[in-house]
């Protein structure tokens, strides 16, 4: 769950910081009906669904995830190379609502959200914007709250492709293919079973860009073990998000309401 909403938060940060970069959000693993399982490329490798189920168990178990209907995260953003810093707050709620607020020093407040129908963003550089076309499709896909359960029902297929190394640790590489052919990749730690990161491409009005995220520093919040550090790399640029507070089932639904400027655009 956390890795899912963290990546949504990056979309905002990148829209601001990496100025020409399109919104970059997470590839997904979603809830409910599993995608058609496939045999791993190497018969010695565990099946993708087995790897994902192991991650869920290592994180606290399916019941613990299902007991969560909303989440609030607060933390900081740093870009070590150029000294930029800021704050981030992420709210997400079942079934697919999301609202993210970034505040970067020298830039200002950047907002992004999805209320189940309208995907939007507001930044002091570009003004209020609505996502349309492929971008809206991706945001809709990415905003599924239950995707955190790691059951990729929206994917056409999932498969384990190899045992490799990611961030210096042995991982299983799982390839998730959407209807239409777009592919996301996730990495799961061989030893702990926890998700270690992901790779994917996302699109907005500027074009398509690839990103890699690495998650770490899993910490227990309530009944769930969640990553508190995410390193996102886009075009060689790394941003680090560190979350100090993660709270479940306390989100005010009002945070997902469209801002006045977005409502005016929707009219």
Partner 1 sequence: MTTRGALVVATAAAALWLGHGRLAADVPKGLETFDAAWTIVRDTHFDKTFNGVDWEAAREEFRPRAAAATTTAELRSVIRAMLARLGQSHFAILPATADSSSEQTVVSGLATPGFDVRLVGRDVLVTRVEPEGGAAMQGVRPGWRVTAIGGKPVAGMIAPLWEVAAAGAPDADDRVRGLEGWRMVRARLSGRAGSMVDVTFEDGTGASVTREIARAEQPGQPITVGNLPTMYVRVTNETRTTPAGRTAGVVGFNIWMATVDRPFQLAIDQHRSASGIVVDLRGNPGGLAGMLMGIAGHFIPEAIPLGVMKMRDNELKFTVNPRRVSAAGERVEIYQGPVAILVDGLSGSASECFTGGMQSLKRVRVFGERTMGAALPSQFDRLPNGDVFIHATGDFVTADGTRLEGRGVLPDERVPVTRESLLSGRDAPLEAALVWIDSEQSKGSK
Binding residues for partner 1, rule: CB under 8 A, are 15-22, 79-85, 105-108, 123-129, 205-209, 235-239, 259-261, 263-265, 267
Task: Give 56's contacts (C-beta < 8 A, 6+ positions apart).
Answer: 62, 65, 149, 150
* Minimum distance, C-beta of residue 28 to partner 1, in the bound complex (Å): 23
Question: How far apart are CB 10 and partner 1 at their closest, in Å?
Answer: 11
Whether 200 and 194 have beta carbons less than 8 Å apart is answered as no
Residue closer to partner 1, measured from CB, 110 or 224 = 110
Between residues 67 and 237, which has the closer beta carbon with respect to partner 1? 237
- Nearer CB in complex with partner 1: 190/265: 265
Are the CB atoms for 211 and 18 separated by under 8 Å? no
Contact between 223 and 214 under an 8 Å Cβ cutoff? The reply is no
What minimum distance in Å lies between the beta carbon of 267 and partner 1?
Answer: 6
Cα 46 to Cα 190: distance, rounded to the nearest angstrom: 10
Residue 18 or 251: the one with the smaller Cβ distance to partner 1 is 18
Between 80 and 95, CB nearer to partner 1 = 80
Specify the length of the chain in residues: 267
Sequence-distant (6+) residues with CB within 8 A of 39 are 47, 159
Cβ of residue 107: shortest distance to partner 1, in angstroms? 5
Q: Is 27 helix (H, G, I), strand (E, B) or coil?
A: coil
Q: How far is the CB of 206 from partner 1 (least distance, A)?
A: 4
């Amino acid at each position: 769950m956390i890795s899912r909403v963290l990546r949504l938060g990056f979309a905002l940060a990148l829209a601001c910081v990496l100025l020409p970069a399109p919104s970059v959000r997470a590839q997904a693993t979603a809830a409910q009906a599993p995608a058609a399982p496939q045999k791993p490329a190497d018969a010695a490798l565990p099946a993708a669904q087995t790897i994902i189920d192991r991650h869920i168990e290592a994180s606290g178990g399916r019941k613990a995830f299902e007991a969560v209907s909303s989440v609030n995260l607060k933390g900081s953003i740093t870009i070590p190379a150029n000294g930029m810093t800021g704050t981030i707050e992420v709210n997400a709620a079942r079934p697919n609502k999301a609202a993210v607020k970034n505040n970067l020093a020298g830039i200002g407040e950047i907002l992004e959200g999805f209320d189940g129908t309208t995907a939007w963003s507001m930044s002091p550089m570009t003004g209020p914007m609505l996502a349309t076309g492929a971008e809206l499709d991706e945001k809709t896909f990415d905003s599924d709250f239950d995707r955190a359960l790691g059951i990729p029902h929206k994917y056409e297929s999932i498969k384990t492709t190899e045992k490799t190394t990611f961030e210096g640790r042995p991982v299983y590489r799982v390839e998730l293919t959407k209807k239409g052919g777009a592919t996301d990749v996730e990495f799961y730690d061989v030893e702990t079973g926890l998700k270690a990161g992901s790779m994917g491409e996302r699109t907005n009005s500027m074009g398509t860009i690839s990103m890699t995220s690495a998650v770490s520093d899993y910490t227990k919040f309530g009944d769930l073990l969640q990553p508190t550090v995410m390193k996102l790399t886009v075009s060689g640029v790394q941003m680090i998000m560190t979350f100090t507070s993660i709270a479940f089932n306390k989100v005010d639904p009002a945070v997902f309401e469209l801002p006045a400027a977005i409502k005016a655009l929707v009219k």
